[in-house]
């Protein structure tokens, strides 16, 4: 504070000396003005001192109160006894076990659905070809023969514009490689094209015993089997024609007799 007072006094003197250097001031006037300014500055400084003193006293009281509260809390923690925990009832135990089991079942279902989605994506471009016999026990020769037979069926017989990425033969009943062929095509569109064209094989002289199906997961196979059984039941029960299209049973319109053409030809 003393430094502030001295600095204020020096500032007052400098201001008086620097103002209107060409004017003449009465010395008594200067002295009176200087005294008035110094008195005003001293009053302001005294007010600031009082405010700061009050703030310091208030802060000290707050710090003392906080110390007392902390001391009381430490004593309370030392003397406090731990309260006994309530024993869980059998109903709470059973409900908790049921909730845990329900959560486990939900997680299992979600994991199964995720596995099914991944498996379908992996098989999305695959077809299974049945009825192509294995001509050799030697693996390189068997692979070459299988590739040649698949290309002949797809490109020459069915005229399907598909690209064959991979061919793999599954083991047969006696664990030899006489089972069906899994063929991976270039896209799901190519698979759909080949499956539509595969219907032509039933009347073919050489490949009449060859069947081409989509490579399905176990869940898809079960659904397809159930759809075929229901479609067969509807055909027998109603005497109508039902087919499966896009995993849905569809009723076909009855075939119209060509009576109009016959009557027109007779009239001519």
Q: Could you tell me if residue 11 is inside a domain?
A: yes
- Residue 176: φ, ψ to 5°: -105, 165
Do 126 and 160 fall within a single domain? yes
Do 132 and 183 fall within a single domain? yes
Do 126 and 200 fall within a single domain? yes
Do 227 and 211 fall within a single domain? no
Do 130 and 147 fall within a single domain? yes
CATH number of the domain where residue 189 is located? 3.30.70.1820
Q: Give the position of tokens 């299974």.
A: 128
Q: Could you tell me if residue 259 is inside a domain?
A: no
Q: Could you tell me if residue 242 is inside a domain?
A: yes
In whole angstroms, give the CA distance from residue 143 to residue 177: 11
Q: Could you tell me if residue 162 is inside a domain?
A: yes
* Domain total in the chain: 3
In whole angstroms, give the CA distance from residue 111 to residue 256: 51
Is the separation of the CB atoms in 49 and 42 below 8 Å?
no
Do 164 and 243 fall within a single domain? no
Do 155 and 231 fall within a single domain? no
Angle between helices 27-79 and 2-18 (to 10 degrees): 150
Do 186 and 175 fall within a single domain? yes
Alpha carbon distances (Å) from 195 to 6, 212, 244, 249: 104, 7, 14, 18
Q: Could you tell me if residue 54 is inside a domain?
A: yes
Q: Could you tell me if residue 267 is inside a domain?
A: no
Do 231 and 241 fall within a single domain? yes
Do 248 and 191 fall within a single domain? no
Kind of pairing between the strands at 126-130 and 181-185? antiparallel
pLDDT along the chain (268 residues), means of 10: 56 54 56 74 75 74 77 71 60 65 79 89 94 81 91 92 92 71 94 92 89 92 90 89 86 67 49
- Helix (H) or strand (E) segment spanning residue 59: helix 27-79
Q: Extract the tokens encoding 39.
A: 């008195």
Is the separation of the CB atoms in 34 and 12 below 8 Å?
yes
Can you give the residue range of the structural domain that contains 131? Answer: 122-215
Q: Could you tell me if residue 198 is inside a domain?
A: yes
Cα 239 to the chain's mean position, in Å? 48
Q: Could you tell me if residue 263 is inside a domain?
A: no
Q: Residue 57, SS3? A: helix
Do 158 and 195 fall within a single domain? yes
Residue 23: its pLDDT value, please?
47
Is the separation of the CB atoms in 161 and 178 below 8 Å?
no
In whole angstroms, give the CA distance from residue 244 to residue 28: 121
Do 232 and 209 fall within a single domain? no
Q: What share of the chain is helix, strand, coil (3-state, %, to 5)?
A: 65, 10, 25
Q: Residue 2, SS3? A: helix
């Amino acid at each position: 504070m003393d430094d502030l007072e001295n600095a204020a006094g020096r500032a007052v003197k400098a201001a008086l000396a620097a103002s209107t250097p060409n004017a003449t001031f009465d010395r008594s006037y200067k002295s009176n003005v200087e005294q008035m300014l110094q008195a005003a500055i001293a009053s302001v400084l005294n007010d600031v001192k009082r405010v700061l003193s009050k703030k310091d006293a208030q802060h000290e009281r707050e710090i003392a109160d906080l110390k007392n509260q902390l001391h009381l809390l430490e004593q309370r923690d030392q003397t406090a006894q731990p309260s006994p925990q309530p024993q869980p009832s059998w109903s709470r135990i059973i409900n908790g076990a049921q909730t845990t089991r329900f959560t486990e079942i939900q997680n299992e279902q979600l994991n199964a659905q995720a596995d099914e989605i991944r498996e379908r994506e992996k098989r999305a471009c695959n077809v299974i070809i049945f009825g192509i016999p294995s001509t050799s026990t030697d693996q390189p020769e068997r692979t070459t023969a299988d590739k040649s037979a698949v290309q002949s069926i797809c490109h020459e017989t069915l005229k399907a514009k598909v690209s064959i990425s991979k061919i793999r033969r599954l083991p047969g009943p006696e664990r030899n490689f006489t089972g069906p062929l899994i063929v991976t095509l270039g896209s799901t569109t190519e698979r759909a094209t080949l499956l539509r064209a595969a219907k032509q094989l039933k009347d073919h002289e050489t490949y009449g015993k060859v069947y081409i199906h989509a490579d399905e997961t176990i869940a898809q196979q079960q659904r397809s089997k159930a759809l075929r059984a229901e479609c067969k039941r509807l055909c027998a029960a109603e005497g109508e024609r039902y087919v499966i299209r896009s995993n849905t049973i569809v009723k076909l319109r009855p075939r119209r007799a060509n009576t109009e053409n016959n009557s027109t030809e007779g009239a001519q």
